[in-house]
């Protein structure tokens, strides 16, 4: 028996896969157990290192840091999506010189690492007399990089659609802007939604780079708490707490994105060649 894509495994293959699965689980559990054991041996679970988290003021600091992270992410996400659409439309222009200019901008923004962009904005601009707050340095750097990546995602989604979709739009009297807005972009967004969501999750995690330019986000606060010598420098406990908060935020974003994706799929269909 076989399926369209691959042969259905037989009894020997299924037994081999089960053995490999069990071995993999045992290896992962062993590694995790070794890490936990090393934490215990080195005193990472001692009451002294965790005592700092028994103070209300510490949790208020973590709450403020989490809010700073979410604030930077929200602004960067909106800006990156807007920039991505603008650059993608420029890349889809019928004029070669317009495509060339926007293509150069996209390649330049994608080539500069986010951290280098932040350093240039925060430490480089004061050299020429421009002082930029760390918040805006983080947001602008994230918008520039992630917007350029989303531009290529959206462009690829539009160009992957059948050519008949565009021709059907012109046949019913739509201009190019109408074809792009009413026919091509809605379908491309539906197809590229998982990739767009993944890039937004990357944007959320990249806010952690802001600690290098002293932006008081979650990682910066965790590092500050972890260097407190009065509580035995609880760096590992601080990292575990911050990591848990990051995981919770990413899961919340993924859940919200899944709801949005289901809503988009249930929305009325756009004009297609068949309906034209």
Span 155-168, pLDDT tens digits: 888 777 777 666 67
pLDDT for the residue 156: 82
- For residue 161, the SS3 value is coil
Is 53 part of a structural domain of the chain?
yes
Confidence of residue 170 (pLDDT cuts 50, 70, 90): low
pLDDT by residue (tens digit) across 32-57? 999 889 888 888 888 888 888 889 99
| Same domain for 194 and 211 | yes
d(CA 163, CA 274): 13
| Same domain for 37 and 55 | no
| Same domain for 143 and 61 | yes
Nearest in space to 80 (alpha carbons), one of 120, 137, 139: 139
d(CA 69, CA 135): 10
Q: Residue 175 is inside which H or E element, if any?
A: none
Is 271 part of a structural domain of the chain?
no
Is 272 part of a structural domain of the chain?
no
| Same domain for 190 and 113 | yes
97 vs 184, higher pLDDT: 97
255 vs 206, higher pLDDT: 206
Nearest in space to 264 (alpha carbons), one of 163, 205, 180, 196: 196
Nearest in space to 249 (alpha carbons), one of 206, 209, 213, 211: 206
Is 276 part of a structural domain of the chain?
no
Confidence of residue 6 (pLDDT cuts 50, 70, 90): low
Per-residue pLDDT at 65 exceeds 90 = yes
| Same domain for 32 and 137 | no
Is 275 part of a structural domain of the chain?
no
| Same domain for 213 and 109 | yes
pLDDT average, residue stretch 22-35: 94
| Same domain for 30 and 99 | no
Nearest in space to 245 (alpha carbons), one of 116, 41, 45, 63: 63
- For the range 39-43, what are the long-range contacts, defined as Cβ-Cβ under 8 Å and sequence gap of 24 or more? 39/236, 43/232
Per-residue pLDDT at 178 exceeds 80 = no
d(CA 234, CA 225): 7
Name the average pLDDT for the chain: 84
| Same domain for 199 and 76 | yes
Please count the structural domains in the chain.
2
What CATH number has the domain bearing residue 110?
A: 1.10.3720.10
| Same domain for 62 and 26 | no
pLDDT for the residue 23: 94
| Same domain for 25 and 111 | no
d(CA 181, CA 169): 11
The tokens for 73 are: 């992410």
Supply the range of the domain harboring residue 5: 1-42
The tokens for 2 are: 């076989």
| Same domain for 205 and 185 | yes
Is 165 part of a structural domain of the chain?
yes
Is 258 part of a structural domain of the chain?
yes
| Rg of the chain in Å (alpha carbons) | 25
Backbone angles phi, psi at 32, to 5 degrees: -60, -40
| Same domain for 52 and 36 | no
Backbone angles phi, psi at 7, to 5 degrees: -75, 135
pLDDT for the residue 105: 92
222 vs 172, higher pLDDT: 222
């Amino acid at each position: 028996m076989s399926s369209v894509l691959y042969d259905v495994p037989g009894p020997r293959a299924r037994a081999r896969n089960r053995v490999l699965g069990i071995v993999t689980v045992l290896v992962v559990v062993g590694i995790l157990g070794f890490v936990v054991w090393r934490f215990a041996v080195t005193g990472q679970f001692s009451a002294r290192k965790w005592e700092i988290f028994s103070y209300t003021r510490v949790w208020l600091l973590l709450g403020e840091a989490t809010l700073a992270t979410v604030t930077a992410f929200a602004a960067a996400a909106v800006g990156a999506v807007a920039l991505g659409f603008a650059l993608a439309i420029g890349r889809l222009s019928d004029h070669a010189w317009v495509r060339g200019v926007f293509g150069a901008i996209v390649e330049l923004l994608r080539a500069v690492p986010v951290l280098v962009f932040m350093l240039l904005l925060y430490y480089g601009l004061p050299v020429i007399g421009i002082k930029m707050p760390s918040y805006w340095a983080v947001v602008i750097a994230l918008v520039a990089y992630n917007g350029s990546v989303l531009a290529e995602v959206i462009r690829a989604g539009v160009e992957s659609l059948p050519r008949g979709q565009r021709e059907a739009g012109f046949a019913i009297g739509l201009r190019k802007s109408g074809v792009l807005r009413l026919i091509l972009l809605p379908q491309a967004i539906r197809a590229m939604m998982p990739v767009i969501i993944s890039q937004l999750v990357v944007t959320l995690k990249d806010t952690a780079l802001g600690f290098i330019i002293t932006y008081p986000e979650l990682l910066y606060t965790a590092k500050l708490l972890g260097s407190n010598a009065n509580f035995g420098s609880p760096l590992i406990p601080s990292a575990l707490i911050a990591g848990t908060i990051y995981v919770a935020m990413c899961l919340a974003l993924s859940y919200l994105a899944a709801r949005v994706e289901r809503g988009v799929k249930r929305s009325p269909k756009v004009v297609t060649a068949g309906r034209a």
